[in-house]
């Protein structure tokens, strides 16, 4: 694996499992389409399923393709990217709640900051 596992989540599409990852490239695409991660969450995770389905497919495709692109980069391979049209055939409405949870985990893990503090020699 070419990324930190704690920065990703996994979803099952059809019979295959795919890691999903929030990268800088994905963040830029999300910002371009929605304005930012907060706006994305309001749209994709709303109660308006009909409106959110296309956004959900786009987001799953974007996040899963990040891992494929990274693997292709490191291995100099040419694995095909996922397409929303293909995912429509493999995903059932029953799967959407699990995908929503995995996407939220991925977005939180990808935007989490790891802060380390240095010990200082303080005199109290």
For 9-58, write each residue's pLDDT tens digit.
999 998 999 999 999 999 999 999 999 888 887 777 677 777 778 888 99
Query: Does residue 113 surpass a pLDDT of 70?
Result: no
The overall longest dimension of the chain from CA atoms, in Å, is 65
Q: How far apart are CA 21 and CA 7, in angstroms?
A: 7
Query: Can you give the C-alpha Rg of the chain in angstroms?
Result: 17
For helices 49-75 and 37-44, the axis angle rounded to 10 degrees is 130
Cβ proximity of 63 and 20 under 8 Å: yes
Q: What share of the chain is helix, strand, coil (3-state, %, to 5)?
A: 60, 10, 30
Write the CB contacts of 20 (distance below 8 Å, at least 6 apart in sequence).
8, 9, 10, 11, 60, 63, 64, 66, 67, 102, 103, 106
Position with higher pLDDT, 64 vs 54: 64
């Amino acid at each position: 694996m070419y990324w930190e596992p704690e920065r990703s989540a996994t979803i099952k599409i059809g019979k295959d499992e795919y890691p999903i990852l929030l990268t800088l490239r994905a963040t830029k695409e999300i910002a371009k389409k929605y304005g930012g991660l907060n706006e994305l969450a309001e749209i994709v995770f709303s109660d308006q399923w009909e409106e959110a389905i296309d956004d959900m497919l786009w987001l799953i495709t974007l996040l899963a393709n990040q891992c494929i692109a990274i693997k292709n980069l490191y291995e100099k391979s040419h694995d095909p990217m996922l397409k929303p049209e293909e995912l429509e055939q493999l995903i059932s409405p029953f799967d959407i709640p699990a995908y929503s949870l995995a996407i939220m985990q991925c977005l939180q893990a990808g935007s989490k900051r790891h802060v380390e503090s240095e010990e200082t020699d303080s005199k109290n």
